[in-house]
């Protein structure tokens, strides 16, 4: 708790709301975007913390976990206002990735991921807008889910871009990920029947050769789980357009949500995040209208693809960047990364990361995207992959 790159100095910390429940025996950390009645929410930025009053209500998602008997370890750090995927915070420091200390932990759910990866919690509650669950899950070797957009409530928490924001969580094992889903979705465990997988072969082909080879055991495992596997013909060059469409829509939402408060306080933010806010404010209504049209077309396309199948794709375009990576390299990596994370984000679809391989000790894996509302089935499929891979 003394590591303020991971844990927030403000709480509440170290308590159990009820003595028993379906999540009794598990430990929780929660991202510093979730409101807890009577406590301040800091959003990873001291100026925000100092200028906002204590919350009057508790996030319903967080409260559902409280009422399920989970033990609350405490509140954990986020990138400032969740507007980054790196896991760096200029005010509190960059958490050490416990699996690969020379690489970034990923964000913005950095504290959630690192606390779980260190074994200090079993469940890391975070949020995902442009990849903030999926990316740190990949970098820290964790299971993570971005749920169907809108399935879980987002009020009583600090937003980034409401049209994309969703709660999500990270765990070291697939069974725990599924147990949390039972509580927050109020849904029983699923037993998938007649599963069909589509592999995004052209997206896997853009990975470095070592990573292409590393995911082959996952491909083999998919054949034992599914009744049918096939290729999804999606050209990798389309990712740049997906990234730009997402960035425009996200940027316009962020400007509407935060820029009135942020603009006179840009010096209170890290340079890269301040520049991102300034860029977002330059976007026009015409650009947004065009991006929305592209989003609608994409939703129709991917909905048709996923009506009978689940899509398997890379979560990230490479291993986690080194902590020594330059700002220019990180910015370039972000553009490639957003192209992949935008596929589910733009369509509001659920996505689960499977941390099933390592390359020279560095975590990697892939993701599965399902149709809207298939969250519990995705969690069950993640469990099946975990079982098959552990038996191999």
Q: What is the distance between the alpha carbons of residues 379 and 382, in angstroms, rounded to a whole number? A: 5
- Closest C-alpha among 364, 267, 244, 365 to residue 312: 365
SS3 call for 373? coil
Measure Cα distances from 328 to 238, 281, 324, 331 in Å.
22, 21, 12, 5
390 is catalytic: no
Catalytic residue among 31, 367, 371, 386: 31
Q: What is the distance between the alpha carbons of residues 244 and 287, in angstroms, rounded to a whole number? A: 10
187 is catalytic: no
Give φ, ψ of 197 to 5 degrees: -110, 140
132 is catalytic: yes
Catalytic residue among 5, 59, 108, 309: 108
Q: How many CB atoms lie within 10 A of CB 185?
A: 17
Measure Cα distances from 78 to 5, 22, 209 in Å.
9, 28, 33
**DSSP run (H or E) holding 260:** helix 239-262
Catalytic residue among 132, 309, 374, 386: 132
Q: How many CB atoms lie within 10 A of CB 335?
A: 14
DSSP 8-state class, residue 42? -
Q: What is the distance between the alpha carbons of residues 198 and 195, in angstroms, rounded to a whole number? A: 10
Sequence-separated (6 or more) residues with CB below 8 Å from residue 34: 41, 58, 59, 61, 62, 75, 125, 156, 157
DSSP 8-state class, residue 121? -
Question: Are 110 and 136 contacting, i.e. CB atoms less than 8 angstroms apart?
Answer: yes
Q: How many CB atoms lie within 10 A of CB 65?
A: 24
- Closest C-alpha among 232, 214, 120 to residue 172: 120
* Residues with catalytic roles: 31, 108, 132
């Amino acid at each position: 708790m003394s590591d303020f790159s991971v844990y927030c100095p403000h709480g509440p910390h170290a308590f159990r709301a009820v003595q028993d429940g379906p999540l009794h025996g598990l430990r929780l950390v929660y991202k510093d975007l979730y409101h807890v009645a009577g406590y301040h929410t800091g959003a990873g930025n001291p100026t925000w913390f100092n200028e906002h009053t204590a919350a009057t209500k508790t996030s319903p998602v967080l409260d559902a976990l409280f009422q399920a008997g989970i033990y609350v370890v405490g509140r954990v750090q986020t990138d400032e206002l969740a507007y980054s995927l790196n896991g760096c915070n200029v005010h509190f420091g960059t958490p050490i990735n416990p699996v690969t200390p020379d690489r970034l932990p990923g964000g913005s759910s950095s504290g959630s991921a690192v606390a779980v990866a260190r074994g200090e919690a079993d469940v890391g509650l975070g949020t995902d807008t442009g990849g903030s669950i999926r990316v740190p899950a990949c970098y820290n070797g964790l299971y993570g889910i971005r749920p169907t957009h809108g399935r879980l409530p987002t009020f009583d928490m600090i937003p980034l871009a409401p049209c994309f924001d969703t709660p999500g969580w990270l765990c070291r094992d697939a069974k725990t990920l599924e147990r949390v889903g039972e509580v927050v979705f109020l849904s029983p465990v699923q037993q998938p029947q007649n599963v069909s997988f589509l592999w995004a072969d052209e997206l896997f082909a853009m990975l470095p050769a070592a990573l292409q080879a590393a995911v082959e055991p996952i491909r083999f495992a998919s054949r034992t789980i599914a009744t049918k596997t096939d290729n999804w013909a999606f050209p990798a060059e389309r990712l740049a357009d997906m990234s730009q469409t997402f960035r425009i829509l996200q940027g316009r939402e962020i400007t509407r949500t935060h820029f009135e408060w942020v603009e006179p306080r840009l010096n209170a933010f890290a340079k890269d995040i301040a520049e991102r806010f300034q860029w977002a404010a330059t976007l026009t209504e015409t650009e947004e209208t065009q991006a929305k049209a592209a989003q609608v077309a994409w939703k129709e396309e991917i909905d048709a693809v996923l009506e009978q199948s689940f899509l398997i794709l890379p979560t990230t375009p490479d291993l986690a960047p080194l902590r020594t990576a330059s700002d220019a390299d990180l910015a370039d990596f972000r553009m490639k990364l957003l192209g992949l994370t935008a596929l589910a984000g733009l369509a509001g679809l659920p996505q689960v990361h499977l941390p099933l391989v390592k390359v020279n000790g560095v975590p990697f894996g892939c993701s599965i995207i399902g149709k809207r509302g298939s969250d519990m089935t995705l969690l069950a499929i993640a469990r099946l992959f975990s079982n098959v891979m552990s038996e191999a």
